[in-house]
Amino acid sequence: MKIKLDLLKWYSLIRFVVTLLPLIIIFLSAFSEASFLSFPPKGFSLKWFVVALTDKSILRSIQTSLLLAAVASMLSLLIGTLASYALVRYRFPGRNIIDSFITAPLTLPMVGLGLGLLFFFSSFLGGLSFINLVFGHVIITLPYVVRNISISLAAVDKSLEQSAMILGAGPITTFYKVTLPLIKPGLISGTLMAFIASFNNTTISLFVASPENLTFPVKIFYFIEFFPDPRMFAISSFVIIASLAIMLALDRIFGLYKIALR
């Protein structure tokens, strides 16, 4: 038993290092004086942070990604909450098919899904636009919301909702006053996962985004392919720090770590 625990500790440590090491390399390389991607960094300079922060195309792509992730996660939250309630609380013909259809993007190849969306938008919805980009991101973020809310909803005792109705509360009041507070962990974790999945997505955005609506991951992809320099490391460092700050803030405010363990 002790050997198994030791192996588990070493396995967890190795996974932690492998996950964290690329982020450390990116952060340190951002301070390089060289005009090309290199590690270890050549000298120490903040010039690439200045270059990244003054590049309007990069700032515009970050703004697009933030707006896209916010809109997509909010729409996924609205649709996913209603879908989860129907799937968990009711039994109806085709329920399993609908559930499989919602979660299908988690198993489908992203390249195939992106190519299909490209042809669909080009053929039926008048080409590429920000609205179509939001539609594509809702498809890939909805499963995260549905799964998290469904788990929370399944743990809620139906008798609590029934008691509220017996005491005179209508279905909408019961859902708003009783059900929503009880599934708050699923709402928070599902929305957060949807936001992160949307912000970090490259494949769908690469197919669906128009030149006027390039997202930050796609912008990084283009820069690495055509203009490989440490400015991408610099701006990525900001994103890494911001992501960690958001996670710590959410953990501080909502107890996200405890939510994840439930």
- pTM score, whole prediction: 0.77
Q: Is residue 235 part of a domain?
A: yes
Q: Is residue 220 part of a domain?
A: yes
Q: Is the dihedral of CA 224, 230, 231, 234 positive or negative?
A: positive
C-beta separation of 253 from 55 below 8 A: no
With a pLDDT cut of 90, the percent of the chain lying above it is: 5
pLDDT at residue 72, as a whole number: 92
Query: Residue 127 region, left (φ>0) first, then alpha (ψ -120 to 50), else beta?
Result: left
C-beta separation of 161 from 95 below 8 A: no
Q: Is residue 95 part of a domain?
A: yes
Q: Is residue 27 part of a domain?
A: no
Burial category of 143 from C-beta neighbours within 10 Å (exposed 0-12, middle 13-18, buried 19 and up): buried
Residue ranges of the chain whose pLDDT lies below 70: 1-6, 34-39, 41, 125-128, 228, 246-247, 249-262
pLDDT at residue 254, as a whole number: 56
Query: Residue 63 region, left (φ>0) first, then alpha (ψ -120 to 50), else beta?
Result: alpha
pLDDT at residue 259, as a whole number: 43
pLDDT at residue 250, as a whole number: 62
C-beta separation of 76 from 144 below 8 A: yes
87-130 pLDDT, tens digit per residue, is: 888 887 878 888 888 888 888 788 888 888 888 777 776 666 78
pLDDT at residue 122, as a whole number: 75
Domain limits at 112?
A: 50-261
Q: Is residue 133 part of a domain?
A: yes
CA 43 to chain CA mean position, Å: 35
CA 78 to chain CA mean position, Å: 16
Q: Is residue 159 part of a domain?
A: yes
Place of tokens 């809310």: 149
Tokens encoding 103 = 């979660």
CATH for 218: 1.10.3720.10
* Total domains present in the chain: 1
CA 225 to chain CA mean position, Å: 24
Q: Is residue 15 part of a domain?
A: no
Q: Is residue 43 part of a domain?
A: no
Tokens encoding 79 = 């649709």
